[in-house]
A and B are shown apart, each in its own frame.
Chain A
């Protein structure tokens, strides 16, 4: 009877250990899902930032058009504005490329957590990390807002890599966890730099909309007010400023890094993922509402 109890106790303990281990490996899968959602949100966000930058620049370009008395000045101004915008859009494209590489990397890690066979996934993961590192200097040195992205990069966080039964996963994490910590920090820094420009562009567009759709028709010397003026005023005054979205994006990037550090150390819990998914979903919701407001 005593022996039977011992066997049951050992089996229960083994079962719990296996469940715990299996749960840890499942977290790589959860993290890959989070990475995919994060990537979708960031791609949508950077595209929205690009659209806003184009629209805000068009406002400035149209505002100064009347003072460009000769065609040469107009051509020069148009070229200057367009060149500057194209440079900015190229930077955004580079950030998107970096985000997509991160997404692929997390998928590769998730695959490594489920197999220990030498399927080439380990080499693929290392190659993705190397591609991110190659993009790093160009993104870091880009001046998106008032300062280069590198000014927003925080210090290195030492990485602790837990012991994993899957040798390829362990090898990859030992080799590249520190690299990934830097790449995630770069994402967060790029977003912080973008936020300032984003808010500034939103301010310009909101002010222009209020002026053209609400204030100028109201001040006009004609006796009648355009039909739907009240609705236009309500829509303009209720429109979101985008500040919330910008803050969520920066928060999501920080959470992604924090969760990755905890995951690699074998210390992540469901709560980390809940917070991360909540931040990512907040960005997706806000992008949708901002788009709807602008298109109305």
Chain B
């Protein structure tokens, strides 16, 4: 994939993830979870939103090389997350997939 395609796919997945994390279905699944899982979920939502905002305003030229270097990780991370978001019954697994993708994105843009 070209760098701009990797960037667009990553932004798109982050936006979808954010929306799922704010959806009724996710809210109902999260209601059944423990307090630490709820906290982890909120922290990851914050990171998803921050990553989305950073990638949205990032200059492609500046992150092109890092996107290309991490193409495989990003593509796999997106695929894994897509599958997890389709079945929200296991919140912990969904959060692990979100965390996994964010780690790769963190190699492209700073998420602090």
Contact = CB atoms under 8 A, between A and B. Distances in A.
Contact of B22 (A81, A151, A207): A207
Contacts of B39: 67
A193 to B, nearest CB: 12
Contacts of B15: 146, 200
A189 to B, nearest CB: 15
A143 B56 CA distance: 7
A204 B8 CA distance: 21
B28 interface: yes
The A interface, classified by DSSP as helix, strand, loop or mixed, is helix
A77 B50 CA distance: 8
A70 interface: no
A64 B28 contact: no
Interface stretch (A30-38, A208-216, A286-294): A208-216
Given A66-B42, A67-B42, A204 B49 contact: no
Interface residues of A, number: 25
B24 A63 contact: no
A64 B42 contact: yes
B19 A203 contact: yes
Interface string A180-200: 000000000000000000001
Nearest to B14: A146
Interface residues of B, number: 23
Interface string A124-157: 0000000000000000000100110001000000
B62 interface: no
A219 interface: yes
Given A84-B53, A84-B57, A203-B19, A63 B45 contact: yes
Contacts of A200: 15, 19
Interface string A70-90: 000000010011001001000
Contacts, number: 59
Nearest to B10: A146
B7 to A, nearest CB: 9
B45 A80 contact: no
Interface in B1-59: 4, 8, 11-12, 15, 18-19, 22-24, 27-28, 31, 39, 42-43, 45-46, 49-50, 53, 56-57
Nearest to A85: B53
A60 interface: yes
Contacts of A84: 53, 56-57
Contact of B12 (A60, A63, A146, A215): A146
9 contacts: A64-B49, A67-B46, A81-B49, A81-B53, A84-B56, A143-B56, A203-B23, A210-B24, A211-B24
8 nearest A-B residue pairs (beta carbon): A64-B46, A67-B42, A146-B12, A84-B53, A146-B11, A147-B8, A67-B43, A207-B23
